[in-house]
Amino acid sequence: NHFNGYCNDSEEVVFIANNTDTLKLPFSFGKQVFCTIESNNPKSEAFIEIDSLMQEMRFAYSEVRSEANRKLNNKLWFSKLQNFGESLKEPLAELYIYAFLSNRSSELHSHYVEDLKSSDYYDKLESRLTEQYPNTTYTQQYISELTADRYLLQASESSGIGQNVFLYTLLILSILLNAILLFRYWKRKQTNTKNLKAKLSRQECVVLDEILQDKTNKDIAQTLFLSVSTIKTHTNNIFKKLNIQSREDAKDLFS
């Protein structure tokens, strides 16, 4: 495979060309190879097939433009690679694919994490490795990495739950604090209103209440059976005692 440097005939080609020249290479998009690879171990073909499939994936990605299609491609290729590995009936080939899918730098890693939450595939792969390749370094490494990933996943989920509880607690405390502040403001407002009205006579308080209802002097006079001039006198006294200049000031003071 000249492209990946898998054979002894791999060469580096340097050429000079202008815009009108063409270059033809003995390249097959089907197998992604330049030469024939021969091996006396029939299982080695599995890795060649996996590499070819990965090359096909990379070629497919080069055609993807939108982020939505890229995410869809990620999901499809994750399933395709994993299913292909399982179909080979060779745990080492599956392990080769697992190393690619679980790589944190891979775009497919997020799908691996989601799959790890619910799929029993990884336990079955562990059983196949343990059965066919017991006590080997790569089997033990797989078990260790799988255990570590599950621990991190569990810790992450626990952290997420704890964070949600913390946020809900903050929200409740914030609501309670705002309620306390509003109550204190209302209480202080009531006290201020009471203190201000304490400066007025009983009749002036009655007139003030009428003023706060947007009634004119004439309306107040008719309601209280008093003359308009008397209402004006009470109004002026109210303004002086409360140190205000107008009816609008009174409304602002008692709003």
- Going by the DSSP 8-state scheme, the letter that residue 136 receives in this structure is -
Helix, strand, or coil here: 8?
coil
Instruction: Enumerate the domain spans of the chain.
Output: 64-158, 199-255
Between CA 24 and CA 231 the distance in angstroms is 107
Between CA 234 and CA 253 the distance in angstroms is 18
pLDDT in tens, 94-133: 998 998 898 888 888 888 988 998 899 999 999 999 998 8
Residue 42, token pair as written in the block: 């029939």
Sign of torsion over alpha carbons 38, 89, 101, 130: negative
Which ranges of 109-136 would DSSP assign to H, the alpha helix? 109-118, 121-132
CATH topology of domain 199-255: Arc Repressor Mutant, subunit A (1.10.10)
Between CA 77 and CA 106 the distance in angstroms is 12
- What does the pLDDT read at residue 126? 93
- What does the pLDDT read at residue 57? 87
Angle, alpha carbons 45-51-54 (nearest 5°): 145
Sign of torsion over alpha carbons 220, 224, 228, 233: negative
Q: Which residues of the chain have pLDDT under 50?
A: 1-5, 11-18, 21, 23, 31-37
Give the DSSP H or E segment for 161.
helix 137-197
Query: Under a CB-based contact definition with an 8 Å cutoff, are residues 185 and 199 in contact?
Result: no
Residue matched to tokens 């890229």: 70
Burial zone of 20 (CB within 10 Å; 0-12 exposed, 13-18 middle, 19+ buried): exposed
Helix, strand, or coil here: 34?
coil
Residue 43: what are its φ and ψ, rounded to 5°? -70, -20
CA distances 150 to 79, 127, 135, 140, 253, Å, are 20, 17, 22, 15, 64
